[in-house]
Structure formats: C-alpha cells, structure tokens
Amino acid sequence: MNRVVVIGGGYGGLRAVEGLSTYEDIEITLIDQNPYHYLQTQAYGYIAGEFDVNEVAVDLYNWSLGFKRVKFIQATVSSVDFVKQEVFMGEEQLSYDYVILAYGAKTNFFSFIEGLRENSYGVKSLYRAFNFRKEFENVIYKKLQNTDDSSSQELNIVIGGAGLSGVEVAAEMAHVIKNYSKTIGSRAKEIKIYLVDASETILPGTSDYIIKNTFKRLESLGVNILTNAFISKVDKSFVYFKDAEPLEYSFMIFTGGIKASPLNEVIESEKNKMDQLLVDKNLNISGFDNAFAIGDCIEMKGADGNILAPTAQSAERSAEYAAKAIKNRIDGTQYKGFNSSTMGIFVALGGKYAVGEVFKYIKVRGYIAYTLKTAITYGYYIGLRLRINTGFKNRI
C-alpha cells in the first residue's frame, strides 16, 4: 500500500484526496491545522450575512470518514524532510511515499503600508471573515437603532483591493445595504462602500467584457470605486493615500494580495518574491519526484506560460493533475507535464446577479450568470455534504 500525505484541507487538498481515493493501492492522510474546510469562494455572502457558517465550513473529520482509505489529522505541520520522506508536526512525525503540499496562502498585509495589518481584516481565514461580519452587522444595527450619534453620521466601509474577492464583497454588501433601505429608510444611504485599488482598473487581468459589466453593476449599487489609489497608511480612523485626501472610515477589509503560508519559509526550495514555491513542469519540488506542490502555495503557470490567478479553479486543476501523476508513477507509466488554463470566470455581484465568461467565447450576465455560478457552487457544496453524511454514518 502506497502512503500519500496531503498537507492542507483547502480546495486543492480536498480535490487531491478525492482523486487519490479512487485508487485501491493508495492510503491517504489529510492534515490541516483547522478541523474544517473553509469555502472561501463564498466569503462575500458570509460577510454580508447572506450565508450562515454551515454554508461556508464543513467538518474535515466526518468528510474524511466518507472514504475508505482516508484519515484526517488536525495538526500544524512544522516542516517536511523530502530526503527522509517525513512530515513533522511538532514532536510527532509521519512517513510517506508521496506528499502533496496544498496549504494555500494568506492575505498579504503589505508591510510598507503602515498600520494596514493592525486596522483591517482579511477573508483568507474563517476567523477574520467572522470578525468582519460582526463589524458589518454592527454598522447596520447602529443605523437601525437611529441613535443621535449615528443617525446623521456617514459610516464608510473601505475595501482595499479590487480583485475578485474585493469586488464580490463590495457588491454583496452594497446589495444588502440597498435592501435594508426598506427597514432603516434613508439612513441606509449613509452607509458608504469604497472599493480601492492601486491598479488602473478593477479586476485586472480579466477581459473587457467582465470589467465593463462589473463596473456598471457596482455603480448601480452605489459602490464608490477609487482606482489608481495608492494607500500609504492606515490608522484607526483614516485611510491615507499617496496623492489624495484621507478617507475617514468605520472599518476596512483588505484583499489586495496574497503571500505564501509560513510553512514555505522552512521548505528548502526555490521561491518567488511572494515566497511561493517554484515547481517544475510536473509540479514537483526540485529534485524530488515524489513531492508535489499545488494551489496558492506555488507559482502556477498555465498552458501559455503565464502565471495563473490564485483561484479555487486553479488549485483544483493542479490537484487533479497531482493525483493522476502519483498513480502514474506508482504504475510506472509515462505522463505529461501540468498543462492547464482558466476555463472561465464568474463574478458574483450582489443578489441574483453575476457576470461570467466561459472559454472566452460564452459571455453571460445578470440572472443567467448568477444561475450558472450558483449551480457550480451548489454542486461542489452538495458533493461535500454527501461525503460528510456518509462519514457521519460510518462513525456511528
């Protein structure tokens, strides 16, 4: 029996386990520091109060029990010895025949922006998303209460970073605030959302169709879009810009970049400026053909040689490749290098509205795009839930 250790219970890690579990000559150990899988692609709805926690988190222990040869360990991996083929979890260690590094990345609170980390939230972790949700609900509550100190005061919410996460969070919150006008009247208009990015446009790297229709939707929701806006400093009350007046704010979320997990710091391998691992064409750690790395912890390139965006889709494609590559190595069969590209993109834009593009040719917007995005997300969620139900039954 071949032992495979998968480090990380994110989108890539779970897809790798699913792929490997179909082979009867492989037993899998999944390791994550958290006992749950966080559906980060649903963070926008959770923060805005549209989703409950059970819709963005699933138990990894019960999920793993839904397979025949999968074991879950909740632990923090401290290092990996590729020569001795061992994973270290503090004083404990686990031997492997193959290992997949799939522990993702975290929000990059840029150190050159003074006060950014101390005064803003991220969405890469469920804990930070939970705290941000509480702050957002508190703003709504203040306006609902209509106290003297809040009834005539504008409350600004700043979202730093106009990539996919930032745009979706801004749109969903703006939609929720708009709906609250029925409950708190004109006071809802006093809650302002600012979407800030240093780039020339929102959603940099996407098509003109996606950018144009997303911009139009955000404007219709009342989102204030500030591009070419370089944040220089953040304190408890103001966001300061390089070439513009400070912006007073109530609370801030930052989605403007990622950096590798701390585990990358102890991995002895070549890395890029964001500390992401540089892997070969087979997604192997240099010099070790039984050690694979996937998802956000690596610099991933597509079929055209360009760097792929750090999305759940990219993580899953790389996971599928790694699972098949391991089986091919076990069987002694040849396999080609990783060759992938983004099949499409859907942007949730508040309520039952989205913008989407598939294979660069199929372009949709509005309710149709929302329906397609929801179907994809729901299919993924139901797959997890069915596996959890099986695991729960197996446990009892």
- At 164-201, the pLDDT tens digits run 999 999 999 999 888 877 777 777 788 899 999 999 99
Check whether residue 265 and residue 336 sit in a common domain. yes
Distances (CA, A) of 16 to 12, 101, 177, 352: 6, 10, 39, 32
Check whether residue 103 and residue 155 sit in a common domain. no
d(CA 361, CA 263): 39
Check whether residue 185 and residue 199 sit in a common domain. yes
Query: Among 201, 226, 254, where does a domain finish?
Result: 254
Q: Which two tokens stand for residue 38?
A: 């966080």
Look at residue 144 in the predicted model and tell me its pLDDT.
73
The candidate with the shortest Cα–Cα distance to 122, out of 140, 139, 104, is: 104
66 CB-near residues (< 8 Å, 6+ apart): 386, 387, 388, 389, 390, 391, 394
User: What is the value of pTM for the model shown?
Assistant: 0.89
Length of the chain: 396
277 within some domain: yes
Span 269-319, pLDDT tens digits = 899 888 899 999 999 998 899 999 999 999 988 777 778 778 888 899 999
Q: pLDDT band for 355, please (50, 70, 90 cuts).
A: very high
Q: pLDDT band for 339, please (50, 70, 90 cuts).
A: confident
Helix (H, G, I), strand (E, B) or coil at 72: strand
Buried b (16+ CB within 10 A) or exposed e, 310-324: bbbbbbbbbbbbbbe
Q: Is the pLDDT of residue 229 over 80?
A: yes
38 within some domain: no
Would you call 209 exposed, middle or buried from its count of C-beta atoms within 10 A (0-12, 13-18, 19+)? middle
Cα Dmax for the chain: 74
d(CA 78, CA 392): 30
Span 143-156, pLDDT tens digits = 777 654 544 577 89
Look at residue 148 in the predicted model and tell me its pLDDT.
47
116 within some domain: no
62 CB-near residues (< 8 Å, 6+ apart): 388, 391, 392, 395
Query: Among 207, 229, 254, where does a domain finish?
Result: 254
Span 79-89, pLDDT tens digits = 999 999 999 99
Check whether residue 144 and residue 228 sit in a common domain. yes
Q: Is the pLDDT of residue 333 over 70?
A: yes
The candidate with the shortest Cα–Cα distance to 212, out of 109, 122, 220, is: 220
CATH number at 279 reads: 3.50.50.60
Q: Which two tokens stand for residue 172?
A: 């969903």
Check whether residue 243 and residue 336 sit in a common domain. no
How do 354-358 and 2-7 pair as beta strands?
A: unpaired
Look at residue 324 in the predicted model and tell me its pLDDT.
96
Check whether residue 199 and residue 217 sit in a common domain. yes
Check whether residue 144 and residue 248 sit in a common domain. yes
Helix (H, G, I), strand (E, B) or coil at 306: coil
Q: What integer is the mean pLDDT of 199-211?
A: 93
**What's the total number of domains in the chain?**
2
Look at residue 322 in the predicted model and tell me its pLDDT.
96
70 or 48, higher pLDDT? 70
Q: What integer is the mean pLDDT of 240-253?
A: 92
210 within some domain: yes
Check whether residue 175 and residue 249 sit in a common domain. yes
Q: Which two tokens stand for residue 310?
A: 């750090």
As beta bridge partners, residue 157 has 193, 251
Q: Is the pLDDT of residue 332 over 80?
A: yes
291 within some domain: yes
Among residues of the chain, what percentage have pLDDT more than 90? Answer: 57
- Residue written as tokens 């040849």? 334
325 within some domain: yes
Q: Is the pLDDT of residue 328 over 90?
A: yes
Look at residue 150 in the predicted model and tell me its pLDDT.
46
Backbone angles phi, psi at 248, to 5 degrees: -75, 140
As beta bridge partners, residue 3 has 27
Check whether residue 158 and residue 264 sit in a common domain. no
Domain range for 327: 2-33+75-107+258-342
Look at residue 101 in the predicted model and tell me its pLDDT.
97
Query: Among 254, 283, 309, where does a domain finish?
Result: 254
The 8-class DSSP code of residue 223 comes to: P
Residue 298: count of CB within 10 angstroms of its CB: 29
Check whether residue 263 and residue 237 sit in a common domain. no
Check whether residue 7 and residue 98 sit in a common domain. yes
366 within some domain: no
203 within some domain: yes
Q: Is the pLDDT of residue 394 over 70?
A: no
The candidate with the shortest Cα–Cα distance to 385, out of 393, 124, 322, 73, is: 393
Check whether residue 175 and residue 236 sit in a common domain. yes
Residue 169: count of CB within 10 angstroms of its CB: 29
**DSSP secondary structure of 343-373:** -EEEEE-SSS-EEEEETTTEEEEEHHHHHHH
